[in-house]
């Protein structure tokens, strides 16, 4: 199908901003299963901009507004053609191959367990049991995804973007970001390289052509065992034509859709609106 995403973020500055400096990671990638047909980023007031691809391969638009302003609006528009991806596994390592020094050397950054994704003791014990009873890393990864989907409720507003996976597990509640972090911690604990994926998801299983619906940024995971395999633990499904990939990284901090700073005397407030439309 062909999907159009319009992602609008607005900021209001109490007392005004003298200047603001930002980075946007809002441009979908062209890769297996999706082709970017059109993309555009509009910023008001008009900024000075430049683009680059970051260390993780994400397209970044950096921009500065150097004139005083009371508000800032960023609108990212993209049209993406998506195809169902054949999820036949052609490469699958066994536990001995996964433990090879070459894997640890190549994927060190995707094996590091920091506080953001570190599982608490009781969950770590369950992950260890999964690792001990699974015939191969792929089976263990799927079991970890199912565990988090079954035991953590999706509750909007139960956490914030700075939260830790452990807190979400204790509360047994979180959003897609938390579920991705929980799964990543489990995969890395078992020595399986894992990365965080951010993007968009059309919320309807049978979207109507031409109908704009309220969406939001979405997150899922990919693990490597001879090739990268994606899974959406929030919806307990493999990514399909409803998913659009924007960025990948170690965790949410590497893929934040919009980040930056401003100079001014007051605080700021923000709103986000995402509209997704099936075009064909």
Digit-coded pLDDT (tens) for 140-151: 999 999 999 999
Beta bridge partners of 65: 20
Q: CA torsion 165→167→170→174, rounded to 10°? A: -70
Q: How confident is the model at residue 144, as a pLDDT?
A: 98
Distance separating alpha carbons of residues 218 and 234, to the nearest angstrom: 9
Span of 157-161, 237-241, 271-275 with lowest mean pLDDT = 157-161
* Beta carbons of 76 and 24 less than 8 angstroms apart: yes
Task: Please give the pLDDT value at position 163.
Answer: 87
**Ranges of each domain in the chain:** 2-83+257-278, 95-254
- Are the beta carbons of 137 and 124 closer than 8 angstroms? no
**CATH topology of 2-83+257-278 equal to that of 95-254?**
no
Mean local confidence (pLDDT), 65-83: 96
Q: What is the pLDDT of residue 160?
A: 82
Q: Is the pLDDT of residue 89 over 90?
A: no
Q: What is the mean pLDDT of residues 214-237?
A: 94
The 10s digit of each residue's pLDDT in 113-133 is 999 999 999 999 999 999 999
For 95-254, which CATH class? alpha beta
| Averaged pLDDT, 172-200 | 97
Q: Angle 10-12-18 (CA atoms, 0-180°, nearest 5)?
A: 115
Class of domain 2-83+257-278: mainly beta
Token pair of 258 as six digits? 């919009």
Residue among 157, 182, 203, 186 nearest 252 (CA): 182
User: CA 41 to CA 25: how far, in whole Å?
Assistant: 10
| Cβ neighbours for 249, distance < 8 A, ≥ 6 positions apart | 56, 58, 195, 196, 198, 255
Cα atoms found within 13 Å of the Cα of residue 212, Cβ hemisphere only: 7
Q: What is the pLDDT of residue 87?
A: 58
Distance CA(224)–CA(193), nearest Å, equals 5
Kindly state the average pLDDT of the residues 156-172: 90
At residue 90, the pLDDT reads 60
């Amino acid at each position: 199908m062909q999907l159009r995403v319009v992602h609008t973020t607005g900021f209001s500055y109490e007392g005004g901003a003298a200047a603001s400096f930002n980075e946007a990671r809002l441009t979908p990638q062209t890769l297996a299963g999706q082709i970017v047909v059109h993309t555009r980023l509009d910023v008001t007031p008009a900024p000075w901009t430049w683009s680059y691809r970051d260390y993780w391969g994400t397209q970044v638009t950096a921009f500065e507004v150097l004139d005083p302003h009371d508000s800032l609006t960023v609108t990212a528009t993209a049209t993406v053609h998506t195809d169902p991806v054949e999820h036949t596994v052609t490469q699958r390592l066994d536990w001995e191959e996964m433990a090879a020094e070459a894997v640890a050397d190549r994927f060190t950054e995707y094996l590091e367990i920091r506080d953001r994704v570190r599982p608490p003791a009781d969950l770590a014990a369950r992950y260890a049991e999964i690792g001990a009873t699974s015939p191969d890393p792929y089976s263990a990864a799927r079991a970890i995804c199912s565990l988090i989907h079954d035991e953590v409720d999706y509750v909007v507003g139960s956490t914030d973007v700075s939260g830790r996976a452990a807190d979400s597990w204790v509360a047994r509640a979180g959003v897609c970001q938390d579920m991705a972090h929980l799964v990543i911690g489990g995969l890395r604990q078992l020595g399986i390289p894992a990365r965080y994926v951010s993007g968009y998801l059309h919320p309807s299983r049978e979207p109507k052509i031409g109908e704009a619906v309220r969406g939001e940024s979405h997150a899922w995971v990919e693990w490597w065992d001879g090739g990268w395999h994606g899974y959406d633990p929030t919806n307990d499904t493999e990514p399909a034509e409803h998913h659009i990939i924007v960025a990948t990284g170690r965790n949410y901090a590497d893929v934040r859709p919009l980040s930056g700073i401003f100079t001014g005397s007051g605080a700021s407030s923000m709103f986000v609106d995402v509209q997704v439309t099936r075009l064909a």
